[in-house]
Structure 1
């Protein structure tokens, strides 16, 4: 069961929009994966973003207050007070907690309750509360479709430039395909909301939403941390010692990295703004990590030069200086 959105943001249930926004910004700065390297920070940041998405939207917040975590599954015409009374009667609280078992989904959330006694048909129960309200000649009136989610895997290059996908989905209406556009600069774990592309409604009810969960596949060259890209930069010993400028490939095209004099292995050389783009703020950076390499098969002349360097140099790599 998901944590209460107010609890996630650390605000009271009567907090105004400015309080909610301040709380989100404060926690987002603390938990953002670009800043917080704790293994659980990314999951907490996703939970925070989801809670803010709900509470920052007045309509969604109103429904969340009324129906709890079931708010996306409950028909728009359901009366909140009657809904709470019906669920309490069946042994469940308004936020979706259960004291027995439930079956398939209906317009009021879960459809059948099975407790210690006989089954209770929630449709009949709610029908007794509402009378004919919400029922058409053939049963329930307009019933909104359920929200759905699916994962979509992208390469680093696709995450950088944006891409298109044709998704194959299956729901109560049968199999279907939809074409979606993935914007440039998405990050791993990001949720993309497609309005009206979820489960189909019935009786004229609106379709639910489809949420795409972005997963960025491992890459043979790039390592991704949030929007920052990391890549290894092999250097010859003399390039590291004397400094140089080298071409480097990035997802956005060729770039040039300047290697300072006296660069050691593992030094990170930053190319500002050459990470994943970000339409809502600053882009990520690209970090080229120096990796000094030496040939395993030196020519006679190369060996003599290295021997000469070893005799004249006063550098001690094992010194703390």
Structure 2
């Protein structure tokens, strides 16, 4: 039988890892290897391995004993001195136990297991097996919490801006989702208890909906900032103007400075996507100078007059 992997190695964390780091590592691996999510033959055994590692390392007392006594910590009776235990291990498998200890098992039974003489008579086979398998040796693997799951939720820019209620059909289920105003692309909406089912009465996992913003014909979104084209006539760009513009929050006015060229970005602070716990994004109106595709006779005459008197040459501008 292959040696059991070190619990810290099983979760991919350092021995100094905090409880939060251990929990994050477990949740990530559980989503990857839970039998509901991964049908590979080895996934179930890997899931059992990381579940056992998490059970131990997330419990401060169990983790301390694991650090002191190693993988066989469950077989070490309470009150055993860690230093004496370590010294016995350094002495080799042929070393005799100190006074007041008894050996469990017999020749060929595997690693030495020692019990305090004062408590050995209270330990039966059921207790030993139960301890070896973490209290689950005779009942199967025991309750396993459901895995967290993820799915994508596509929203329009307007839905993300305003928030609201949305019905979502997923795996044959019809779910009511509350969309917070200002949710950004890539953010996750948590639906508690809507993930994978647990076993033996254990709690289900959570469902995380990853927000994806659908392309919009007018709005370009970068984080919480929104850019929209601002069509301008040549005279509005040259002389300046106050121009109405549509935004996800409704119509507003933007002041166009005189001498505005195409590509200039006019910033409207706080008019981008809202932020529930911080500063909202900004809206950028990008100037785009437009000319009539088929100018009238009067328009053509005026443009010709302008061309005759103007010394402006955009190709000489830096």
Deviation at 1:169, TM superposition (A): 3.0
1:155 aligns with 2:156: yes
**Aligned equivalents of 1:195 and 1:215: distance in 2?**
20
TM-score, structure 1 length as denominator?
A: 0.62
For the residue of structure 2 that corresponds to 1:63, the secondary structure is helix
Q: Distance in 1 between matches of 2:138 and 2:201?
A: 11
Structure 2 counterpart SS, 1:318: helix
Change (3 A) 1:202 1:303: same
* CA deviation after TM superposition for structure 1 residue 142, in Å: 2.2
Distance 1:105 1:166, change over 3 A: farther
Find the partner of 1:268 among 265, 276, 287.
265
Say if 2:186 and 2:212, in contact at 8 Å, map to a contact too.
yes
Give me the whole-angstrom Cα distance separating, in 2, the residues matched to 1:60 and 1:208.
Answer: 18
Alignment partner, residue 80 of structure 1: none
**Does the 8 Å contact 1:140/1:203 carry over to 2?**
no
Number of aligned positions between the proteins: 227
Return the alpha-carbon distance in structure 1 between the equivalents of residues 43 and 258 of structure 2: 69
Q: CA offsets per residue over residues 183-223 of structure 1, 9 Å max, x none? A: 11111111222222211212121111111111100001111
> What residue in structure 2 maps to residue 306 of structure 1?
303
Confirm or deny: 8 A CA contact 1:70 1:109 kept in the other structure.
no
Q: Is the 8 A contact 2:130 2:138 kept in 1?
A: no
Q: Which residue of 1 aligns with 2:107?
A: none
Q: Give 5+ residue unaligned stretches, structure 1.
A: 16-57, 76-99, 112-126
CA spacing shift, 1:142–1:107, aligned 2, 3 Å = farther
Within 1, Cα distance between the matches of 2:12 and 2:236?
Answer: 55
Secondary structure (helix, strand or coil) at the match of 2:217 reads: coil
Q: Cα gap change, 1:128/1:226 in structure 2, threshold over 3 Å: closer, same or farther?
A: same
Per the alignment, do residues 62 and 298 of structure 1 end up closer, same or farther by CA in structure 2, a change over 3 Å counting?
closer
- Once superposed, what is the RMSD of the aligned Cα atoms? 3.4
> Deviations 1:7-55 (Å, cap 9, x if unpaired)?
9xxxx8748xxxxxxxxxxxxxxxxxxxxxxxxxxxxxxxxxxxxxxxx
In structure 1, what is the Cα distance between the partners aligned to 2:16 and 2:236?
62
- Give the Cα separation in 1 of the matches to 2:161 and 2:27: 36
> Which residue matches 2:192?
195
Residues 25-174 of structure 1 mapped to structure 2, 5 A cutoff: 60-64=20-24, 67=26, 69-70=28-29, 102-104=42-44, 108=48, 130-131=132-133, 133-134=135-136, 139-170=140-171
How far off its partner does 1:132 sit? 7.3
C-alpha deviation, 1:73, in angstroms:
8.0
* SS of residue in 2 equivalent to 1:220: coil
Gaps of 5+ in 2: 1-10, 35-39, 52-128
- Choose the corresponding residue for 2:181, options 180, 184, 189: 184
Q: Is 2:265 the counterpart of 1:257?
A: no
Tell me, in whole angstroms, the C-alpha distance in 2 between the residues paired with 1:64 and 1:182: 25
For residues 317 and 133 of structure 2, what CA distance do their matches in structure 1 show? 83
